[in-house]
Every structure is written in C-alpha cells, then in structure tokens.
Amino acid sequence: MARSPEQLYSELLAHLRQVALLESCGAILGWDEQTCLPAGGSELRADQSALLAGLAHERATAPVVGELLGELTSRGWPADAASPERANLREIARSYRRATALPRRLVEELTKATSLSQKTWVAARKQRQFSLFLPDLERVIALRREVAQALARGECDPYDALIDEYEPAMTAADIAQLFAPLRHELVKLIGQIGQSGRQPPVEILTRHYPADAQRAFSFEAASEIGFNFEEGRLDVAAHPFCSGIGPGDCRLTTRYDTHHFPGAFFGTLHEAGHGIYEQGLNREAWGTPLGSACSLGVHESQSRLWENLVGRSLAYWQRAFPKAQKMFPEALQGVSLDQFHAAINDVRPSFIRVESDEVTYNLHIMLRFELEQLLVSGELAPADLPGAWNERFQRDFGITPSHDSDGCLQDVHWSAGYLGYFPTYCLGNMIAAQLFDTARAQLGDLDAAFRAGEFQPLREWLNTQIHQHGKRWPTAELVQRVTGKPLSSEPLVRHLKERFGPLYGL
Amino acid sequence: MARSPEQLYSELLAHLRQVALLESCGAILGWDEQTCLPAGGSELRADQSALLAGLAHERATAPVVGELLGELTSRGWPADAASPERANLREIARSYRRATALPRRLVEELTKATSLSQKTWVAARKQRQFSLFLPDLERVIALRREVAQALARGECDPYDALIDEYEPAMTAADIAQLFAPLRHELVKLIGQIGQSGRQPPVEILTRHYPADAQRAFSFEAASEIGFNFEEGRLDVAAHPFCSGIGPGDCRLTTRYDTHHFPGAFFGTLHEAGHGIYEQGLNREAWGTPLGSACSLGVHESQSRLWENLVGRSLAYWQRAFPKAQKMFPEALQGVSLDQFHAAINDVRPSFIRVESDEVTYNLHIMLRFELEQLLVSGELAPADLPGAWNERFQRDFGITPSHDSDGCLQDVHWSAGYLGYFPTYCLGNMIAAQLFDTARAQLGDLDAAFRAGEFQPLREWLNTQIHQHGKRWPTAELVQRVTGKPLSSEPLVRHLKERFGPLYGL
C-alpha cells in the first residue's frame, strides 16, 4: 500500500534527526577541542571529527532524502504554501542541494584540515608569526575555494555560494548595498567623535579585575538575562563562542583577562544572547530547519542585542553598577556610574574586533568582507594577506597593527574555513537595532524594565517573534514580518547617534 | 589479481581502526557525560551515545571482518604461530565472535539504558534511596542477562561469558580458585590486625586539606610517576576513572573531599597508573588488539601497583611527606612520618570499597563477585540486593551499612552494566604484587629509587614487560612469561604480611 504524504514527511524528518544527532556528537568534540583537549590529542581529534563529519554528510546526502523530497513535491504536498511543513521542505531541499554538491572526500579533507589549522592558528597567534600559519591557511583557503566552486555549479558567484551557507537568500551584492550607506554614516560619526575632544576614562576598565570575580559576575549576568545553566555551561576558551549542541545542552565560552573588564563581561553577554536563541528554539522541531536558527545574521542580532542594546545601556548599569562596585571594589572605588558608562562606550580606532566599540566594529567587518571576497576569487594570495590587511586597516582606522596577532591573525574564522561568515556580524547589528526599535514600540518602557532587572518581557518577545520560528522565513522576510519594514541600516545608525550623541556631546 | 595475505591483513586493520575511531568519539562523549554535561542534556546524550555505539557495533560486526578473518585462516597466514600478527588475528576473531553474537538492537538499548541509569544512580546515591535506582537497575540487569545468554550461546556459563569481556580466557571457577586461599589468608591477617590493639592515628587524614592544595599535590604526584599531562588531563567526577581516548589523549578523574586526604590522592595515583598503561601502549598498533590493554586485571595491576606498592610504601613518603607538610601545614603540623605512614596504611573494616585499605579491599571485591553471579543467574532479584548486600557485609566485615549509599549504591559499575568486572580488581592486586616482586628482583633497590624520586626505571620496566605487548598473550600467559611463575595470590599475601606485620607488630 502506498504511503501517505504524512508518512513520507515523518520518515524524512526521522532521517534528518539522525543526521542532527551525528552532528551533535561532532559538536561535542568541537567544543572539547577548544576547551579541554590535551595538546597531544590534536591529531586524533582531527581524525575523529573528520569521521563524524563524513558520516553526517553521507546521511545528509543519502539518495532517500532526494527521493522523499521528490515524492512529496510531485504529490504537491503540503497544499498550503504558507504552512510550516512547506517551509521545512523548502529548507531541507536547499540543504540537500548544497550537501550533494560536495563529494565526501572534500568534506572530510576540509574537516581534518580545519581541525589541524585551528591548532596552528592558536600557536601562530601566540607567537605572533603569520608564517607559521600560512601553510595551513593556504590549504584551508584552497579547499574552501573548491567548495565554493562546487556549490556555485557555475550558476552564481562562488563567494555568494559560501554566504548562502550562513545567510540564505542573501548575496554579496545585497550586503554591499546595505553596507554602503552604513559605512558613510559610520565614517561621519567616527569623525565627529574624534573631533569632540572627549576621552572617556577607559583606564578604569584595565585596572585589576580578579578572574574569579569576573567569572561570578559574568555567570550572574548571563543567568539574569535568561541563559539557563541547567541546560548549559560557560567555560574558558581561546576564542569565545556559543555551541548549541542540542536540546538541553548549550555551551558558551569566554576568556578572562584580569586587566580588561569588558572582554569577558560583554563577551559573555554576547554568547549568552546566542545561547538564549539556541535554548529558545522549538524543541519539537529539533533536527529540522524549523527547529534551527534562521541564519547567522539573525543569530548575531540576538547576541548583539543583549550585548550592546541592553548590556551597554545606561539603564542596565543603573542597576548593575552598584553590584559591580561591590564585586570589584579595588577597581571601581570612587568611579561614578557616568564615568563607567562612558568608558564602556568608548569609541576609538583599535586593532581587535571583539574588543572594539559598537561604531568601529562595523568597519572591522567591512574590512574582512572586502578581503575574503578577494581570497575566494583568488585575487589575493594568502601569503599577501598581512600586507593587504595592514594597508586597508591604515586606510579605515588610521593605524597599522605592529604584529599580525593584532591584525589578520586575530580571528579564528578563516583558520576554521569560515569564509562568507564575517558579513553576518554586521547584518546582526542592523537586525538587532531594527528588532529593538519594534520591541520598544510594542513593550513600552524597556529602560524601566532593565533598571528593575526585568529581562523576561524582552526575552519572551524575542522568543515569540524570532526563536520559535526557526528557518520558517528567510532573514529579510522575518525582519519585514516582525518590524513591518524592510531590513535597513537606518535603525542602527539612529541607535548609534542616540547613544553616542549625548556621550560625546554631538 | 588475488590480494596477498599482507594486503588482506592491512585491510582488516584499517577497518578496525575506523571502529576504534568511532569508539573513541563515544569515549569523549562518555567522559563529557561524567565531567561536563549539564543536567538538561542527559536525554540527548543517551541518544548520542546509543547512536555511536550502534554505528561502532555495526562496523565491528560487518561481514567483511569475518570474510577477511576466514580468508587469512584458510590461507594459513601467518605461518608463525608465535608471531604478533597471529596474536592479533586470534583476538580480532575473539572480539568478532563476541560482537556478532549481539543484535544491534540490544547493543543500542543497553547503551541508552546504562546512560540513563548512571544519572539515576547519581541521584539515588545522593539521596541514599535505592528505590529510586531499582527500576533502572532492573532494566540494566535484564539487558545484561540477555547479553550473557547471547554470548554464551549455550556453550558456557553466562557469567563466564561476561567475565570474558574483561578478562579473556578466565572463568568464574578459575577466579574462585585464586580467591579461596587469598580469602583464608586475609581473614587470618585481619583477625591478627584487629587483635594487635594498634590503632593508627587516622584522624590526621580527616583534618582540613584544602581542595586546591590537594589538586596541586595530586597533579604533581601523577606527573612524577610518569603520567604525561601533555597528552592527558585530570578532572573532577563523581566516580574516579581513567579513560584512554586514544593516542595523545588520556583522561583521569578524581574527587576532592576537603576532610579526607587519601581519597583524591591515592585515587589519582591509581588512575594515573591506569593512564601510564594507556599512554604506554604501542601507538603503531592503535585500534588493534596488540595496541590495546591485555585485560582489566592487568590494567588494574598497573593502577594498584602505583597506588599501593609504590604510593603507600615508606620509601615513597620518606621523600613525599616533607612536601606534603609544606602543602598542608595546618593538617600535618607536628605529625611524624611514621604516624602518617601508619595512618595511610590503617586496616579496618569499612563500608566504602574505594576508600578501603589494601587488605580488606579484596573482601569488598569477593562480596561483589558473589552477588553479581547471583544477579546474572537470576537467583538474586535486583529488588533484594540491599538485603543480600547487608547480610553478607555483616558476615564478612562484622558491620552493616546504615544506608544503601554506604552499601550496594556505592559503585557506578552495575548502573553501567559492568557485571563480571569486579573480580578483575582483586586479580589486579595479585598481579601487581607478583610483577612488583619480579621488578625488584631485576631492578635492584626500588626503595632507594623511590626515595630519590626516580620512578622511571620501574615505569620503563613495566612498559617493556607489559604495556608494549597489548593483548599479545592472555593474562595468565603474560604473567608467567614476565615473572616465570603461574599467577597466584602468594606474592600478594607475602606483600601484605611484609607491609602490615611491622606496622601492627605481628
């Protein structure tokens, strides 16, 4: 007897859940690699990760997926084009097309190469020697270019094919169009801030902040905004990240510098924002697109929203600052709330993206967006990266890093093969500002809530508007639905002017 | 063209290395479960572990293994019956026979059931409520009995089939024969010690030992005897264990009780002994029997040798005690070396196996050996375990636990489905003493070496005699080869008399 479309659909989802389960095993190994793995275990880990990635890829590309998709399409199921099932099938088909474009050999090689190159990157960054990292970077870029070609199938630009993995339905041209007006406004704002003559007392942030107290303060902040530690962790790693392993297990990392308060604190809020998204996904739909984050841009909107729009607001610190003073009496004695708030919102050109301010951050991203397009097109050889980086950095920021660990070695992304990923960070900033605008309009006085330590209304609004829908709509459509307007950089520019205007007397 | 036997053998080993790689992924998940997993992640972890175990089982039982084994046998390769290749094939065939006896459904069910039951066990032990654990225990025992039946194939006793997993080529009857004279001597020795009237000053071991100092002291001790932290870790878990993940990655756990010095310290030496064995295996042979530990009994001989024969010797503490006094000034001020040495060698009936002394420890094992035979045969229902435990405990030790966490809930083993495992602990004590006898005869004055902090000669001797050979010979043959004598309890009894005679003035 022929099976019903509902049965075929169930079978398809069950198959995909097995893939997700294998991938979640790989996610544990990936987390462990960054947080726990002894130095001597790198080679074994590379083999393990490659094997799991290969097995997951094998199942994700199994002919049965294509057959089930084809059968459901030919039967015109589901009839309702706006149904969640239809959205699920659309995204499953998209992933299947992408996955079947890549031979298993390439997937395994890339996994192994990136596992090893991340180790090399750590060593090279520590020793400030790009040359140590170059052979690994060359291998990773070459493999990633191969991936891009295979994905593009000659039908689109290879770099667009890479972007599509992180930000479905968006192209380099779309992004460039969104970035251009933003860049214009940023340059203007940075100029005004530079000319304001105001210098926030940033020295207070580099006093002695004991690591244990930072840890406790960060845990509490993450917990207060709603990250659930019964179903998650916060550990130390060289590069902060959030790994949503699966239902009930979401892991954040940060790093503590005893002479730099903002790094770990805002890093933790940031990763907790990602974590709250992961923990807020629809569990019933786990392992399917409807139970997965919409895109990296939307993911980043959640982290940046909590980190910046909430975490760097005056209202937040009206409540948190007295607690900080108790926790860090040595560093914050005699410091006023206004001084502290100005310091954590200091805007000035600096080398390290993850420690940069809300304004210049976006220029850091645009620089990487520019360079990685050249790396993928082949116009820039990996060996020439440090020179190209420093030249553009001087152009955008008026300063040049004195070594590559302050330059092109600072980020883990390229060592991990993540090309096409960086622009989503800046998209996230835009989306965050646009969502926050709407949340304020719908929820009323959020500042009063933050002053009272009430983050639940905002978190629940985000859950209902964003988290629960997974990949039901692509980013642009989701933003349009929630905010009633097309995605644009205007809300971000408005937010930056509102925040930094008063602080710098503009 | 027909392939050469060498090619077939290579193909077989390559296949088995893939199985080992999958199992090593599972080992990471297992370690993570005990050390890192958030409470909310248990269900997901059970699914993940079951999937990996199932995949590994599928590959371990793939027909190609049987075909390659059959082809090599029919070609009479290798001709040399004493060659390492022949030993490898013997053990591969043994594992294959065992693995193909079990349906995948059973393997997955057991993996999932034990993953969940270990969580339940932790909770039940914490709340001292056996009833919380009973349903899980019943399920695990039922599944394990099913496994035993399937493995025995009606050709041997089901319990022997379980022992064979941990201690190949040894039966319950062999073990009973080794245990009987030992039990006789132990009971006599314990009686003499009890009547000696001497009571070592054990109170000094339950003074305040700060956890951080214990951790530092344990790390240093493990490192000194030769555990390589470049290729390993030491973490905290509810139950101490050593997990040899694979080449370059071996992980130990312990637990720190600020009012019980011996627990973490000797626990760490013990696990480090296991770890030194794992780190000393032949790397070229990883993933094959020649690169795997001989048996659990031999494994335990390595841990107990470092923990007891080295770690509780007077010579060891002649060097280590002054360091301990510096590390724990509050606890050890005014304590003499002799007092301390007597305290760590205190012999008296007590409830917890892992904290018990070198003499009574073996009775703890014999009790479990007795009970688990009854659980497997079905003569003892899991529900009746607490009563049966307490009755026998009173018989052997003259005391009865006041709650089950001091009784049948104390060990993780049965919750993990490890039946047939316990006797290997006592075998390990015997083997350790027998090996140590031979090492002393061949290496000269080991006490002088320990006093000088030189552990390398003994470690290298163990590496050459034991670690490097993997499963080349079964336990009894390995012991005979290295010591020139059949395995017996005599060296252990002699050691116990030599150590405790002077301490108790016998």
- Span B181-187, mean pLDDT? 97
Tokens found for residue B203? 């109170």
Query: Cβ–Cβ of B25/A231 closer than 8 Å?
Result: no
Instruction: Report residue B244: phi and psi, to 5°.
Output: -85, 95
Closest chain B CA to residue A28: B29
Query: Cβ–Cβ of B232/A24 closer than 8 Å?
Result: no
Closest-CA residue to B481 (of B294, B226, B273, B272): B294
Residue A261: per-residue pLDDT: 96
Considering CB atoms only, which of A25, A45, A248 is closest to B40?
A: A248
Query: Cβ–Cβ of B28/A24 closer than 8 Å?
Result: no
Residue A1: per-residue pLDDT: 63
Query: Cβ–Cβ of B52/A232 closer than 8 Å?
Result: no
Rounded distance between C-alpha atoms, residue B20 and residue B16, angstroms:
6
Residues in chain A: 506
Considering CB atoms only, which of A21, A48, A51 is closest to B51?
A: A21
Query: Cβ–Cβ of B29/A24 closer than 8 Å?
Result: no
Q: Does domain A172-504 have CATH number 1.20.58.2050?
A: no
Rounded to whole angstroms, what are the CA distances from B141 to A329, B34, B383?
Answer: 57, 21, 11
Closest chain B CA to residue A21: B48
Q: What is the pLDDT along chain A (506 residues), one digit of tens a residue?
A: 689 999 999 999 999 999 999 999 999 999 999 999 999 999 999 999 989 998 999 999 999 999 999 999 999 999 999 999 999 999 999 999 998 998 878 988 998 899 899 889 999 999 999 999 999 999 999 999 999 999 999 999 999 999 999 999 999 999 999 999 999 999 999 999 999 999 999 999 999 999 999 999 999 999 999 999 999 999 999 889 999 999 999 999 999 999 999 999 999 999 999 999 999 999 999 999 999 999 999 999 999 999 999 999 999 999 999 999 999 999 999 999 999 999 999 999 999 998 899 999 999 999 999 999 999 999 999 999 999 999 999 999 999 999 999 999 999 999 999 999 999 999 999 999 999 999 999 999 999 999 999 999 999 999 999 999 999 999 999 999 999 999 999 999 999 999 999 999 99
Distance of CA A291 to the CA centre of its chain: 18
Are A121 and A409 in contact by the 8 Å Cβ rule? The answer is yes
Rounded to whole angstroms, what are the CA distances from A418 to A70, A99, A111, A428, B96?
Answer: 31, 16, 12, 17, 42
Chain B residues with CB within 8 Å of chain A CB: 18, 21-22, 24-25, 28-29, 32, 36-45, 47-48, 51-52, 55, 228-233, 245-249
- B473 torsion bin: left (phi>0), alpha (psi -120 to 50), beta (else): beta
Q: Is B118 exposed, middle or buried (0-12, 13-18, 19+ CB in 10 A)?
A: buried
Rounded distance between C-alpha atoms, residue A88 and residue A264, angstroms:
37
Nearest C-alpha of chain B: how many angstroms from A293? Answer: 19
Tokens found for residue A182? 């933003």
Tokens found for residue A103? 């031979």
Closest-CA residue to B131 (of B119, B123, B141): B123
Residue A102: per-residue pLDDT: 87
Query: Cβ–Cβ of B230/A40 closer than 8 Å?
Result: yes
Nearest C-alpha of chain B: how many angstroms from A456? Answer: 21
Query: Cβ–Cβ of A48/B229 closer than 8 Å?
Result: no
A56 contact residues in B (CB cutoff 8 A): none
Nearest C-alpha of chain B: how many angstroms from A398? Answer: 43
Instruction: Report residue B235: phi and psi, to 5°.
Output: -130, 180
Are A302 and A277 in contact by the 8 Å Cβ rule? The answer is yes
Residue A216: per-residue pLDDT: 98
> Side by side, which strands form the sheet with A242-246?
A232-236, A249-254, A242-246
Closest chain A CA to residue B49: A25
Instruction: Report residue A243: phi and psi, to 5°.
Output: -120, 110
Substitution target in A28, A43, A116 with the highest count of B β-carbons within 10 Å is A28
Helix axes A314-327, A337-344, angle to 10 degrees: 110
Closest chain B CA to residue A49: B25
A190 vs B239: which has the higher pLDDT: A190
Residue B50, C-beta contacts closer than 8 angstroms, at least 6 positions apart:
B108, B109, B111, B112, B115
Query: Cβ–Cβ of A249/B44 closer than 8 Å?
Result: yes
Considering CB atoms only, which of B21, B41, B42 is closest to A47?
A: B21
Query: Cβ–Cβ of A52/B233 closer than 8 Å?
Result: no
Residue B411 has pLDDT above 70, yes or no: yes
For the CA atoms of A52, A57, A62, A65, the dihedral, rounded to the nearest 10 degrees, stands at: 120
B231 contact residues in A (CB cutoff 8 A): 38-41
- A-B Cβ pairs (cutoff 8 Å, strict): 100
Closest chain B CA to residue A228: B40
Are B384 and B392 in contact by the 8 Å Cβ rule? The answer is no
Rounded distance between C-alpha atoms, residue A397 and residue A399, angstroms:
5
Substitution target in B15, B25, B242, B250 with the highest count of A β-carbons within 10 Å is B25
Residue B292, C-beta contacts closer than 8 angstroms, at least 6 positions apart:
B281, B470, B471
The residue annotated as part of the active site, out of A23, A165, A167, A271, is: A271
Residue with tokens 């790093």: A255
Considering CB atoms only, which of B232, B233, B247 is closest to A44?
A: B247
Nearest C-alpha of chain B: how many angstroms from A39? Answer: 6
Instruction: Report residue B379: phi and psi, to 5°.
Output: -70, -25
What tens digit of pLDDT does each residue of A306-343 get?
999 999 999 999 999 999 999 999 999 999 999 999 99
The residue annotated as part of the active site, out of B165, B271, B278, B307, is: B271
ipTM of the complex: 0.91
User: For residue B23, what is the enclosing H or E element?
Assistant: helix B5-35
Q: What is the mean pLDDT of chain B?
A: 96
Query: Cβ–Cβ of A41/B249 closer than 8 Å?
Result: yes
Substitution target in B16, B44, B58 with the highest count of A β-carbons within 10 Å is B44
What tens digit of pLDDT does each residue of B419-438 get?
999 999 999 999 999 999 99
Instruction: Report residue A254: phi and psi, to 5°.
Output: -150, 180
Considering CB atoms only, which of B41, B52, B230 is closest to A25?
A: B52
Considering CB atoms only, which of A52, A247, A248 is closest to B25?
A: A52
What tens digit of pLDDT does each residue of B260-317 get?
999 999 999 999 999 999 999 999 999 999 999 999 999 999 999 999 999 999 999 9
Rounded distance between C-alpha atoms, residue B320 and residue B311, angstroms:
10
Nearest C-alpha of chain B: how many angstroms from A97? Answer: 26
Residue B1: per-residue pLDDT: 64
Closest chain B CA to residue A52: B22
B51 contact residues in A (CB cutoff 8 A): 18, 21-22, 25
B36 contact residues in A (CB cutoff 8 A): 36, 233
Residue with tokens 């004695």: A333
Tell me whether residue A33 is one of the annotated catalytic residues. no
**A78 prior amide bond cis, ω within 30:** yes
Substitution target in B15, B17, B36 with the highest count of A β-carbons within 10 Å is B36
A37 contact residues in B (CB cutoff 8 A): 249
Query: Cβ–Cβ of B25/A51 closer than 8 Å?
Result: yes
Rounded distance between C-alpha atoms, residue A392 and residue B86, angstroms:
64
pLDDT band of residue B102 (cuts 50, 70, 90) is confident
Give the domain ranges of chain B: 5-156, 172-504
Residue B26, C-beta contacts closer than 8 angstroms, at least 6 positions apart:
B49, B52, B53, B56
Query: Cβ–Cβ of B233/A24 closer than 8 Å?
Result: no
Rounded distance between C-alpha atoms, residue B97 and residue B119, angstroms:
31
Substitution target in A19, A25, A231 with the highest count of B β-carbons within 10 Å is A25
% of chain B exceeding 90 in pLDDT? 95
Residue B112 has pLDDT above 90, yes or no: no
Query: Cβ–Cβ of B40/A230 closer than 8 Å?
Result: yes
Rounded to whole angstroms, what are the CA distances from A156 to A85, A148, A159, A372, B171?
Answer: 28, 10, 8, 17, 67
